[in-house]
Structure 1
Amino acid sequence: MKKKPKTTLKLWEKSFLLTFCVFFILLNIAFGIWSVYQFKSALTREMEFCRAEAQQLTARISAVNEKAPSELEMERLLHFYSGRQTYLKIIFDGEQWMNSFPDDAILAEHNGTVRVGNDTFYYYDSLLDAGIRDQNAELCYAKNLAGFYGKQYKILAGTAAAMLLISAIVGALLYQAMKRIYRPVSNISHELKTPLTSVMGYAQYLSQTSRLSEADRKFAQQQILQEAYYMKDIVDRVLTLDSIKNTGIHREVISMEPLLEELCQLDDGISIESSLATLECDPVLIKSMLLNLVNNGLRESKSVQIAASAEGITISNEAPALTARDVRHLNQGELLSREKIKGSGYGIPLCHEISKFHGWKLEYTLQHHNLTAHIHFAGK
C-alpha cells in the first residue's frame, strides 16, 4: 500500500497556529476569570435577595397578633412559595403554624448555602440570625437554587458559544491576513524557479565548456543578463500586486510573436497556433502568467497546445487524473493535491490575479480528459 506523503506546514501556517493558540489561551483565561467573577457576583446577589425575603417574612410574622392566620391564607402562602421551590416552617409562640419542609428535613448550623443530596439550598433560620432574634416567632426558610444554577449554566454556555464564535471569526480573519501577507513571498519563490534554472544552466555552460566562441559566450551572457532583469521585474511586480489594485497595471502594446516563440523554446512538445499580432498588457505579468500555465501543462503532459486570437488565449494539455470537481477548484484559484496534478497547480492563484488586473477572465474546462485554460479578453 502506497503511503501518503507527510504534510509539512509552511512557515506562515506555523506562525498562524502559534499566534492563534496564544490568542485562544489568553481568551480562555479571560473567559474563566470573568465567569468566576460573574458567578460569584450573581450568587451573592441571589443570597442577599433570599436573606432579605426571609427577614421580611420574619418581620411580618413578628408583627401579627397571636391569632393564627386562616387556612386560606396559609394555602395561598404555601402555593406562592412552592412555585418558587421554597420551603417554609413558621413557629409562633411555640405553636407551629406552617411546615412545608420535606420529610428529609433541611437542617443547617448556619445561615447560607447548604448541600442536600444533589441540590443546593439557601437556608435561613431567624434564631440563627443575630440581627433578628424573636423568641415568640421563628422562621425556617430554604430555597432550592437549582433554577439559579440552571440559569447560570445557560449564561455560561451562551458565553462559551460566543467565545468560540469570536475565536473562529478572529482565527479566520487572522488566517486570511497572514496568507495574504505570505502570498507575495510564495509567488516570488515560485516565479524565480524557472529563470534561476536558466541562469544556473548558462553559468555552468560558461564555466565548464572550454574553447567557447566569442559569439556563444556573448549569447550566454545576454541570456543570463536577460533572465536577471526578468527576475528583478517579476519581484517588483509581484511585491506590488496589492498596490496595483489601486494604481493600475503598466500597460503597453507588445508584439505576441517574440513572446510565443520564447514559450515554444521551453520544450519540443509545445505547439502554437496564433492569429494575434499585438496585445495591450503588462509585459512582465503576461509573461509570468503564460509561463505558469505552460509549465503546469508540461508537468502533466508531453505536449501542450497554445492558441491565440483576438478573443483570447487557450493552453491545452492532457490531464487524465482530473475530475470536474478539481476543475471547479482550479477556477476558484485553489491548489490541488499532488496526487491529482503534478506541482499542485502552483502559480494558478497568481494567474487569476493577473487576469483580474487586466480585466480578463481565466477559466478552466475539462473535456475528454483534456484540460484547457481559457484567457478571455475583456469585451470579447
Structure 2
Amino acid sequence: MQLWKKNFFFVVLLFQILLFTGLFAFVSYSFQQSLTKDVALFKQLRGESDFLIERVTEEFASSHTQELVQVINEQQQFYFQVANNRDGTLFSSIPKDVFLEEEKSYTMDRLSVKKRNEKTYLLYIETKEIGEETFEVFFIKDSSSVYLEQNQRIRYSLLFGILFSIFLSGVIYWQMKKIYRPVQNLAHELRTPLTLISGYSEYLMRLKTTEEEKTTMSQEIFQEAQQLQEVIEQLLIMGDLTDGTIKMEQFYVSELFQNLSHKYPKLQLSISGEKELRGNRVLLLRLFDNLLDNAFKAAGNEIVQLTISGKELELVNAGKRISDSQLKKMNRGKKLSVSEYEGSGQGFLICRQIVLLHHGKITIHSDDKQTKVNISF
C-alpha cells in the first residue's frame, strides 16, 4: 500500500475516534442535564403535593381533591399513592397499567428508576407522620420522554457522525491524492534525464574516449541537467509546492517546435491562421515534447502530423489502437494502471494538467488506423 494511503487511513481513523468520542460526550452530557431537570421537577412536585396528601388522609379524597390530582396527572404525569397499615390503600392516582413491582430497576440519589417494557418511571417512597398516624406515600413520575429523547439523540448523533465522516473522508482523500500527484509526476519526468546523465557518466568513467567524445557527452550531461532543473521547477509550480506565480507571455506555439525539430525530424508540421497564445514557454514545451515523444513511440518509423489552426492543435499518428476504457480514463484525468500502460501512466496526466493551467482542453481519440490528440486553448 502506498504511504499516502496509509496516512489517509490513519488520519481518518484518528478523526473518527475524536468525532465519535466527542459525540458520545455530548450525548451523555445532554442526557445527564435532561435527567437532572426531570428529577428536580419530580422533587418539586413531590414537595408541593404535601397539602394534597393531607387532604387525602383527612377526607379520603373528596371530589375537589380528585380534580386537583387529575390535573397533576394529566399535566405532569405525576402520580402518588397513600396507604397505612390499618386501612391499606387510602388513595391512589397511579394508572392501572403502572406497576410498582417492575422488571428492571436501579437506585439514583434515593430515587428508584423503574423500567417496564418501553416505559421508565421515577419512584420515591417515604413515610409521613400526620397526626398520630403513620402513612406510606409512593411518588411516581413518568420519565419515558427523557429516555425517548436520549434514544433519538443517539440515533441522530450516529447518523450525523457517519455522514460527516464520509464527507470529510472524501475531502481528505481528494486533498491527499492531489498533494501526492505532483510527486508521481515528478518521478515520471525525472526518470529520462536521470537515466541519460547516469549512462553518460558511467560511459565516461569506464571507457577510453577521445576529447571530442568527452566534450560531446559533457554537453549532453549539461543539457540534461538544465532540462532536469526546468522539469523540477515546472512540476513544483504545477503542484503548488513553491511560492510565486507562473510567468505568462504572448508567443506563437509554432516557435516552440523550432526547439524540438532536431529531436523529431520526421514531424510534419502544418500551420493555418495561427494566433498568438498567452502561456508559459517551459510548461508548453514540456507538453509538446511529451506528446510528440509518445506519438513517435507509437508510430514507429511513420510520420507524425501536427496541424496548428488558430489556437487549436491536432496531433495525428499511426500505431496501435488505444482501448475505449483507457481513452475514457485519460480524457477524465484518471491514472492508468500498470497493465494498461507500459510506463508509469503519468505522461498524459501531466499534459492534461499543463493544458488546464492554460485554461484549455485536451482530448484523445483512437481507432484502428490512427490516434488523434486535439488541444484547444
Alignment of 1:252-263 (within 5 A): 253=251, 255-263=255-263
CA–CA separation in structure 1 for the residues paired with 2:34 and 2:373: 64
* Count, aligned residues: 357
Report the RMSD for the aligned CA atoms in angstroms.
3.9
Give the alignment partner of residue 37 of structure 2, picking from 39, 42, 45. Answer: 45
For residues 86-121 of structure 1, the C-alpha deviation after alignment (integer angstroms, 9 at most, x for no partner) is 654344994533352448543789533134467542
Q: Given that residues 321 and 367 in structure 2 are in contact (C-alpha distance below 8 angstroms), is that contact kept between their aligned partners in structure 1?
A: no
Contact 2:246 2:280 in 1 (8 A): no
Give the fraction of aligned pairs with identical amino acids, expressed as a percent: 22
- Structure 1: where are the runs of 5+ without partners? 1-7, 266-270
Q: What's 2:149 paired with?
A: 151
Q: Which amino acid aligns with 2:43?
A: R
**Could you tell me how far apart the structure 2 residues matched to 1:364 and 1:139 are?**
87
1:2-21 maps to which residues of 2 (within 5 A)?
8-9=1-2, 11-21=3-13
Q: 1:89 aligns with which of 76, 81, 91?
A: 81
* Contact residue 297 and residue 304 of structure 1 kept, 8 A: no
TM-fit CA distance, 1:274 = 0.9
What's the TM-score, normalizing by structure 1? 0.76
**Alignment correspondent of 1:268:** none
Answer yes or no: is 1:100 the counterpart of 2:100.
no
Cα distance change, pair 329–146 in 1 and its aligned pair in 2 (3 A):
farther
Q: How far has the Cα of 1:309 moved from its partner?
A: 1.2
After superposition, residues 268-307 of structure 1 pair within 5 angstroms as 272-276=267-271, 280=277, 281-296=279-294, 305-307=304-306
| 2-structure distance, mates of 1:350, 1:176 | 18
- The alignment status of 1:60 with 2:52, answered yes or no, reads yes
CA 1:47–1:326 in structure 2 vs 1: closer, same or farther (change >3 Å)?
farther
1:128-148 residue CA offsets vs partner (Å, 9 max, x unmatched) = xxxx65457654233444432
Alpha-carbon distance in 1 for matches of 2:361, 2:170: 27
Structure 1: distance between partners of 2:202 and 2:7: 38
For the residue of structure 2 that corresponds to 1:123, the secondary structure is strand
Unaligned runs of 5+ in 2: none
Contact 1:252/1:283 (CA < 8 Å) preserved in 2? no
Give TM-score, length-normalised by structure 2: 0.76
Partner of 1:34 in structure 2? 26
Pairing 1:1-380 to 2, within 5 Å after superposition: 8-9=1-2, 11-63=3-55, 66=59, 68-70=61-63, 74=66, 81=73, 88-91=80-83, 94=87, 96-98=90-92, 99-102=94-97, 104-106=99-101, 111-116=111-116, 119-127=119-127, 134=130, 139-212=137-210, 214-241=211-238, 242=240, 247-251=245-249, 253=251, 255-264=255-264, 272-276=267-271, 280=277, 281-296=279-294, 305-311=304-310, 312-316=312-316, 318=319, 320=321, 322-323=323-324, 326-343=326-343, 345-367=345-367, 371-377=371-377
- CA deviations 1:194-217 (Å, max 9, x no partner) are 1112222333343444344x4433
SS of the residue corresponding to residue 333 of structure 1 reads coil
74-83 vs 15-24, which deviates more?
A: 74-83
Change (3 A) 1:87 1:60: closer
Give the secondary-structure state (helix, strand or coil) at the position aligned to 1:124.
Answer: strand
Which secondary structure state, in structure 2, belongs to the residue aligned with residue 309 of structure 1?
strand
Q: Which deviations, in whole Å up to 9, do the C-alpha atoms of 1:303-335 show, x marking residues without a partner?
A: 784423134333456564622x54343233221
Secondary structure of the equivalent of 2:333? coil
Q: 1:37–1:164: structure 2 CA closer, same or farther, 3 Å change rule?
A: same
Judge which range, 102-111 or 182-191, deviates more: 102-111
Contact 1:321 1:341 (C-alpha < 8 Å) held by counterparts = no
Deviates more, 1:87-96 or 1:15-24: 87-96
Pair 258,333 (structure 1): closer, same or farther in 2 beyond 3 Å: same
Give the Å deviation of 1:40: 2.3
